[in-house]
Amino acid sequence: MPKMFAQVILPLSLHDAYTYEVPLNMQPAIQPGQRVVVQFGPKKFYAALVVSVSDEKPEGFQAKEIVQLLDESPVVLPQNLGLWRWMASYYCCSLGDIFRAALPPGLKLESKSKIFLTGNDDEQQVSEKEQLIINQLQDISTVEILQKKLGSRFSYPALQKLLNNNVVQVEEKISSKYKPKTEIFVKLHPEVGTEKQLHEKITSLERAKKQKALLLHFSEKTNAFGEKSQKEISKKELFKGTDFNSAHLNELHKKKILKKFEQPVSRILESEQKQVDINLLNKFQEIALAEVKSIFSKKDVALIHGITASGKTEIYIHLIDEALKSGEQVLYLVPEIALTTQIVQRLKNVFGPKVGIYHSRLNNQERVEIWEKVLQFRQNRDKGYQVILGARSSLFMPFSNLGLVIVDEEHENSFKQFDPAPRYNARDMAVVLGIQNKAKVLLGSATPSFESYFNAKTGKYGLVNLDKRHSNIELPEVMIIDLKRVWKRKQMHSVLSHELFELMNTAISKGEQVILFQNRRGYSPYVQCFNCGWIPKCQNCDVSLTYHKYKKRLNCHYCGFSQPVSNECPECGSPDIKTRGFGTEKIEDELKPLFPGARIDRMDLDTTRSKNAFSRIVHNLESRKTDILIGTQMVTKGLDFEHVSVVGILNADNLINFPDFRAHERAYQLISQVSGRAGRKHNRGKVIVQTSQPEHPLIEIIRKQDYQEAFQSQMEERKLFKYPPFYRLIKLVVKHKNPENVNRFANQLATNLRHNSSLIVLGPEFPLVSRIQLWYQKEIWLKVSRKFSPGEVKNFIINNIDTVKHLKDNSSCVVNIDVDPG
């Protein structure tokens, strides 16, 4: 047989593809899209992805052999790779960067991956090779160590099988801290598989009365061998209203009659879903839907500009329904996990088990499972997922027949990944994905991003307007409160102007709810010595530390550094150290005495770290267990609550004054969005915007809620100053631990880039925060004409960076490239 070679992508940032030789025994089975284990460097092993196979021998080097084939069939489809290539070119990164972002951690084994037993091994049939691995894994280990211990008896496919069956788990860096919320469940032990065996066990318990009673109670509750028997029951439910306790259950567990096990609670919600009919559209929604469809007959992309609570989601649901009926798959992207909890409910109500949900808070096992169910759709339309609702990484799901892509709240900044590479915007990539797959793309927002709106205005996308709320209620009334005036008259109640305070009181007394928005989490933005002015700063970054009262610590929001609060100033020794400014945590504290009896909740990064925290907070507001919700921008994103009547924006100043060309766009979007949470179903809502600059032109636009004016005024400025959408922005960040190196490198790079007269080069300059995690950084901004293709731009930039890297002492500088920075 002739030799065969495979081009593979490794999860590394270096180059795009590497060539390995395919051993004879793998030749019949190997296909693009499968993963293989390859050796890279003297000792390291990785799961790599095959992109192509050929008999062309690589020139100039001896290709190593592939070690093992991991998958029986492809886990990534050829049509999925088009997006990878496009992204690598547009965002100036390597295919390896995309590989790392695209696959769930459970499909990304490498030598250094930490693995451990989950404890779910007692019921599974395992092969001899799998058993060998289990025997070695009594402690956390790495793939590398396992391989060393087992030598040639080690098998990657066996390890993968154990991962798939959740006997073994890979530790993830990001989510390992957030242990998913689980509950204890009880089922019959697998050895009690028949009714007869159950009877025998019951008889065997003659002397243990309480255990016997518990077993009988269990059998009755779950209808153990009857019709519609329920296999498992939560311990909580089992014990409800009884006097059984854990000791009884533990005994039965030990005797292998009942089996206790833990599982995430969210999974169970799934089986409780009832399916309901799709809502009929109102006449405005009907017209909008017809317009979308008419656009889709001519164009690939449509933008719905529909005010808050106009019912955009209902229109999406109708489109999804049609796509499903014609056998197509649908991707529904949302910017925030908080949103998935509400929308998944609405989708599951109508589409039931066809809907899968995918985001980074799911554990490894769940993510791989969902990945496989999307793949499965290709073979078995009834079993696989046809709709995926998820955050940005669901772009990479292995769709085989994508027909529709929806990007909800398309203006949202969180569609952009900042770090690490690929620094992509999922909204823009959704458009590329759609076009590549001949699927239609629908973007929707009450406050479209100015880029998308520009594309719609200039005819690149179709535009649909929807300007009536479903309930026919007017948009909330927006009142501007001049903080300077209120301060002068001493009419503040903590952070609330008198007007806001009164509105809140009235609302709460009527059983209505209030949302307060503050864009700072923590207790106080900083603490300060009132004697000498000293402010504690992070030792790794040049930012002040944020005070978190609950933990009594000062935290860095950039690197996570944390230290206790000192009682006296290290500079002057004064004990007069006080907090300055307001974060969400402090506001919560200060509101408690102002609204005695009111139930106050908070939604920010700190209160939503655990997996189910979002749904709990959202659910409590939905079921009116919360009167006041305080939150950061998380509360602004498309949440739908029936009884919120008042929204307060505690301080609009820092939104408006943020030094960024997008500040006005963002401030407008944020304030309209959070205002849009009020008065959605019953009566017109009220919004209070507190600011010390009431005369600012943007404030007037916000008061009138005039999107067109906000858009127009910004377009003029952006055209004049060559900003997007007229020019493409690229940010280069040069980093090094030594500021001199950063300066030298950045100056050299900027000088070289300036040789190209068709580029506008700004900087280098230190950004607002010029040191993060001990690394100094300097930025160079490029304004690039749309005439240049992304490929040309990538080559030009990368060549220039390479040239400067080769100069003396420069090789250890790192340069991040951020195309269309957020």
Ligand X SMILES: Nc1ncnc2c1ncn2[C@@H]1O[C@H](COP(=O)(O)OP(=O)(O)OP(=O)(O)O)[C@@H](O)[C@H]1O
Nearest distance from residue 645's CB to ligand X, in Å?
A: 15
Distances from the Cα of 515 to the Cα of 582, 584, 644, 735, angstroms: 16, 12, 7, 40
Residue for token pair 């040309």: 792
b/e 330-369 (16+ beta carbons within 10 angstroms → b) = bbbbbbbbbbbbbbbebbbbbbeebbbbbbbbbbbbbbbb
Applying CB under 5 A, does 541 fall inside the site for Zn ion? Answer: yes
The residue within the footprint of Zn ion, chosen from 86, 116, 296, 558 (CB under 5 A), is 558
Applying CB under 6 A, does 310 fall inside the site for ligand X? Answer: yes
Which residues sit opposite 388 in a β-bridge?
A: 331, 356
Size of the site for ligand X (CB under 6 A): 19
Q: Which range touches Zn ion (CB under 5 A), out of 395-403, 556-564, 708-716, 740-748? A: 556-564
Applying CB under 6 A, does 414 fall inside the site for ligand X? Answer: no
The residue within the footprint of ligand X, chosen from 111, 160, 308, 608 (CB under 6 A), is 308
b/e 188-226 (16+ beta carbons within 10 angstroms → b) = bbeebeeeeebeebbeebeeeeebbebbeebbeebebee
Applying CB under 5 A, does 556 fall inside the site for Zn ion? Answer: yes
In sequence order, the 6+-apart residues with CB closer than 8 A to the CB of 340 are 334, 357, 359, 389, 390, 391
Applying CB under 6 A, does 591 fall inside the site for ligand X? Answer: no
746 with 734: CB under 8 angstroms?
yes
Nearest distance from residue 586's CB to ligand X, in Å?
A: 28
Whether 813 has a binding-site annotation, put simply, is no
The residue within the footprint of ligand X, chosen from 35, 100, 189, 312 (CB under 6 A), is 312
Nearest distance from residue 332's CB to ligand X, in Å?
A: 12
- Nearest residue to 279 via CA among 349, 341, 345: 349
Nearest distance from residue 314's CB to ligand X, in Å?
A: 4
The residue within the footprint of ligand X, chosen from 34, 113, 141, 313 (CB under 6 A), is 313
Distances from the Cα of 519 to the Cα of 291, 583, 693, 702, angstroms: 37, 8, 17, 17
The residue within the footprint of Zn ion, chosen from 49, 538, 618, 630 (CB under 5 A), is 538
Q: Which range touches ligand X (CB under 6 A), out of 9-17, 183-191, 302-310, 595-603? A: 302-310
Interaction residues for ligand X, span 461-520 (CB under 6 A):
470
Containing H/E element for 222?
A: helix 209-222
Whether 532 has a binding-site annotation, put simply, is yes
Applying CB under 6 A, does 671 fall inside the site for ligand X? Answer: no
Applying CB under 6 A, does 446 fall inside the site for ligand X? Answer: yes
The residue within the footprint of Zn ion, chosen from 208, 287, 463, 559 (CB under 5 A), is 559
279 binds, among Zn ion, ligand X, none (CB under 5 to 8 A by kind): ligand X
390 binds, among ligand X, Zn ion, none (CB under 5 to 8 A by kind): none
Applying CB under 5 A, does 561 fall inside the site for Zn ion? Answer: yes
Applying CB under 6 A, does 311 fall inside the site for ligand X? Answer: yes
676 binds, among ligand X, Zn ion, none (CB under 5 to 8 A by kind): ligand X
Interaction residues for ligand X, span 674-713 (CB under 6 A):
676, 680
Whether 92 has a binding-site annotation, put simply, is no
Distances from the Cα of 753 to the Cα of 89, 531, 747, 800, 802, angstroms: 19, 48, 10, 7, 12
**Of 311 and 476, CB closest to ligand X:** 311
**Of 399 and 450, CB closest to ligand X:** 450
Residue for token pair 């030792």: 539
285 binds, among ligand X, Zn ion, none (CB under 5 to 8 A by kind): ligand X
Q: How far apart are CA 156 and CA 583, in angstroms?
A: 49
Applying CB under 5 A, does 553 fall inside the site for Zn ion? Answer: no
Q: Is the peptide bond before 105 cis (omega within 30 degrees of 0)?
A: no
- Nearest residue to 346 via CA among 412, 415, 406: 406
Half-sphere exposure at residue 218, Cβ-oriented, CA atoms within 13 angstroms? 30
538 binds, among ligand X, Zn ion, none (CB under 5 to 8 A by kind): Zn ion
Q: Coil, strand, or helix at residue 332?
A: strand
Distances from the Cα of 524 to the Cα of 545, 550, 554, angstroms: 9, 12, 10
344 binds, among ligand X, Zn ion, none (CB under 5 to 8 A by kind): none
311 binds, among ligand X, Zn ion, none (CB under 5 to 8 A by kind): ligand X
Nearest distance from residue 629's CB to ligand X, in Å?
A: 16
724 binds, among ligand X, Zn ion, none (CB under 5 to 8 A by kind): none
Applying CB under 6 A, does 309 fall inside the site for ligand X? Answer: yes
Q: How far apart are CA 759 and CA 778, in angstroms?
A: 19
**Of 656 and 742, CB closest to Zn ion:** 742
561 binds, among ligand X, Zn ion, none (CB under 5 to 8 A by kind): Zn ion
- Nearest residue to 347 via CA among 285, 446, 270: 270
Q: How far apart are CA 406 and CA 430, in angstroms?
A: 8
Applying CB under 5 A, does 95 fall inside the site for Zn ion? Answer: no
- Nearest residue to 289 via CA among 138, 141, 465, 113: 465
In sequence order, the 6+-apart residues with CB closer than 8 A to the CB of 477 are 684, 685, 686, 687
For the chain, report the end-to-end CA distance as a whole number of angstroms: 53
- Nearest residue to 315 via CA among 408, 392, 401, 435: 408
* Residues tagged in the binding site annotation: 529, 532, 538, 541, 556, 559, 569, 572
- Point out which residues bind Zn ion (CB under 5 A): 538, 540-541, 556, 558-559, 561
* Residues tagged in the binding site annotation for Zn(2+): 529, 532, 538, 541, 556, 559, 569, 572
- Point out which residues bind ligand X (CB under 6 A): 279-282, 285, 306, 308-314, 446, 470, 638, 640, 676, 680
